[in-house]
């Protein structure tokens, strides 16, 4: 019975260790990406870094309703072959705009938000960062928060708490197992003593 209990505890401990490792890996990845995005925006002056031709953009306005709502995270892919109807992310000054292409004229592009009444001013196609190929509703709000220093501090605090809590539970379980082993040794000693009498 006690052997089964110990086996269950070991199995549970191993599961907790793996869950902690996975959670810490995910948190580390999120923190790394957040720091990379902050540095890219601050030092490289690139509001949408696209390593491997893929990036993520946050929808900050309602101009693309009902297709994209404010706070949606867009997956953006570099694309050379643009066509009318593509939803693109382009850089206008320091800002990123998410609008649909309504006209292509050589190197000149005209876009318009689906919820807007008038098209944007024409601009050069090299200002286009990429085409929206996917979306994650509400994730843009979370990413926006995580890109701020308080967001990174919150993530670090969560990682610390997760690690500390998990280690505390592990220590308690180890102490419990040691106590059970001590009791078993004590019982065996007593049993042996009783047999000797």
Q: Catalytic site residue 69?
A: no
Residue tagged active-site, from 61, 62, 120, 166: 120
CA distances from 173 to 10, 82, 115, 181 (A): 9, 60, 58, 12
Q: What is the pLDDT of residue 103?
A: 93
Long-range contacts formed by 156-165: CB under 8 A, 24+ apart? 156/31, 158/27, 159/24, 159/27, 159/28, 159/31, 162/20, 162/23, 162/24, 162/27, 163/20, 163/24
Q: What is the pLDDT of residue 1?
A: 53
Over 70: is that where the pLDDT of 7 sits? Answer: no
Section 53-77 average pLDDT: 85
In the chain the first and final C-alpha atoms are separated, in Å, by 28
Contact 156, 34 (CB under 8 A): no
Q: Which residues contact 84 (CB under 8 A, 6 or more apart)?
A: 101, 102, 103, 104
Question: 15-49 pLDDT, tens per residue?
Answer: 777 777 787 777 777 666 666 655 555 555 666 66
CA pair distance 95, 99, nearest whole angstrom: 13
Q: What is the mean pLDDT of the chain?
A: 79
Q: What is the pLDDT of residue 42?
A: 57
The reported pTM is: 0.58
Which pair of tokens denotes residue 193? 């003593």
CA 175 to chain centre: 35
Q: Catalytic site residue 99?
A: yes
Q: Which residues contact 1 (CB under 8 A, 6 or more apart)?
A: none
CA pair distance 196, 33, nearest whole angstrom: 68
Residue tagged active-site, from 46, 63, 92, 166: 63
User: Residue 192: left if φ>0, alpha if ψ -120 to 50, beta else—which one?
Assistant: alpha
Q: Catalytic site residue 63?
A: yes
Q: What is the pLDDT of residue 5?
A: 64
Question: 169-180 pLDDT, tens per residue?
Answer: 778 877 888 888
In the three-class reduction of DSSP (H, G, I as helix; E, B as strand; rest coil), residue 101 is classed as: strand
Residue tagged active-site, from 99, 105, 114, 165: 99
Q: What is the pLDDT of residue 108?
A: 92
Question: 124-169 pLDDT, tens per residue?
Answer: 998 898 899 988 887 776 767 766 777 778 777 877 787 777 778 7
């Amino acid at each position: 019975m006690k052997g089964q209990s110990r086996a269950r505890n070991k199995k549970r401990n191993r599961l907790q260790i793996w869950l902690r490792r996975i959670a810490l890996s995910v948190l580390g990845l999120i923190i790394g990406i957040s720091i990379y995005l902050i540095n890219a925006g601050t030092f490289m002056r690139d509001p949408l870094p696209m390593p491997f031709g893929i990036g993520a953009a946050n929808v900050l306005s309602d101009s693309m309703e009902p297709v994209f709502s404010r706070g949606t995270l867009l997956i953006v892919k570099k694309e050379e072959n643009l066509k009318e109807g593509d939803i693109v992310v382009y850089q206008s000054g320091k800002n990123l705009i998410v609008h649909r292409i309504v006209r292509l004229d050589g190197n000149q592009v005209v876009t318009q938000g689906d919820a807007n009444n008038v098209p944007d001013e024409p601009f050069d196609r090299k200002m286009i960062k990429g085409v929206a190929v996917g979306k994650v509703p509400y994730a843009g709000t979370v990413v926006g928060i995580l890109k701020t220093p308080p967001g990174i501090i919150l993530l670090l605090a969560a990682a610390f708490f997760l690690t500390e809590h998990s280690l505390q539970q592990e220590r308690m379980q180890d102490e419990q197992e040691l106590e059970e082993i001590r009791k078993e040794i004590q019982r065996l000693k007593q049993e042996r003593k009783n047999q000797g009498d």
